[in-house]
Every structure is written in structure tokens, then in C-alpha cells.
Amino acid sequence: MRDHSICNEKIISSQENEIVLELAITSECDFFDGHFDEFKLLPAVGQFEIITRFAAKYFGLKKSVSSIKRIKFSAPVLPDAQVILAMKYTAQKNTVSFVFSDSADTEKVYSTGSFQVEKNE
């Protein structure tokens, strides 16, 4: 399985069913390859891949998404971005909600949303 060069997460805070991570999305990340050569940015599918990967890792969920409740992409993620990923898992609904924002300016939100997944048995 490819990790897309996103394997450097740092836990900022963690509680039961909630986690806040900081990670670097380096210019070497292959999500940037071929996506607007003259203006590289992390595609929406790349953001969602990162979010679902860490939801699976920290909440013990399957990585496959059964439904997307809502998702909004608000700003482009550029190479070498330091980001904050805040996630909350609601077990009763098997739903993960998230905010993906800039680590230096948390008012700069890249994406928000929620999705439903199946729990690993």
C-alpha cells in the first residue's frame, strides 16, 4: 500500500473518540504529481485519502466509506503545507467528522465534513 509520503503525523491531543494531528504534506507527496503542473495543489481525493487513512488508524475503522454525509473543500493545500487534522468519531452512527486546517493559521480551513464507515470486527 502506498503511503503517499504522509507518515509523519504528530498527535496534538487525544481523547476517547477524538484526535487532533499535525502533519506535513511535503512537495514529495505523489498526490501532487500531474495535478496542475504549473500550480501544484493537493487534490480533493488526496485530502480525503489522508483523512480516511488516519480515521482508520486511530479509531480502528475500516478504510472504506459507506456514505459521505457532507464535505466542503474551502481552500487549496499547497506543497509543503503543515496541516492540522481534527477528527471525532461518533460510535452510535459510525460517523467521523473532521476539520482539515492550516497549522499556522487555524482560521484557514482546507476542508470540513463527515462520513460514515464500518467498524472493524
- Render pLDDT for 9-32 as a digit per residue (tens, 0 to 9): 999 999 999 999 999 998 888 888
Check whether 1 has a pLDDT greater than 50.
Answer: no
**Per-residue confidence at 7, pLDDT binned at 50, 70, 90?**
low
Q: What is the mean pLDDT of residues 110-118?
A: 92
Stated pTM of the model: 0.89
Per-residue model confidence (pLDDT) at position 75: 94
Q: Tens digit of pLDDT for each residue in 32-79?
A: 877 666 788 998 888 999 999 999 999 988 878 888 999 999 999 999
pLDDT score recorded for residue 121: 58
Q: CA 55 → CA 58, 67, 79, distances in Å?
A: 5, 14, 22
pLDDT mean over 86-109: 94
> What is the DSSP code string of 25-41?
E-TT-GGGTTS-TTS--
CA distances from 44 to 66, 72, 81, 102, 110 (A): 18, 10, 15, 15, 10
Asked if the model's pLDDT at residue 2 lies above 80, the reply is: no
From residue 5, alpha-carbon distances to 1, 34, 64, 81, 112 in Å are 11, 16, 20, 13, 22
Q: What's the pLDDT score for residue 22?
A: 97
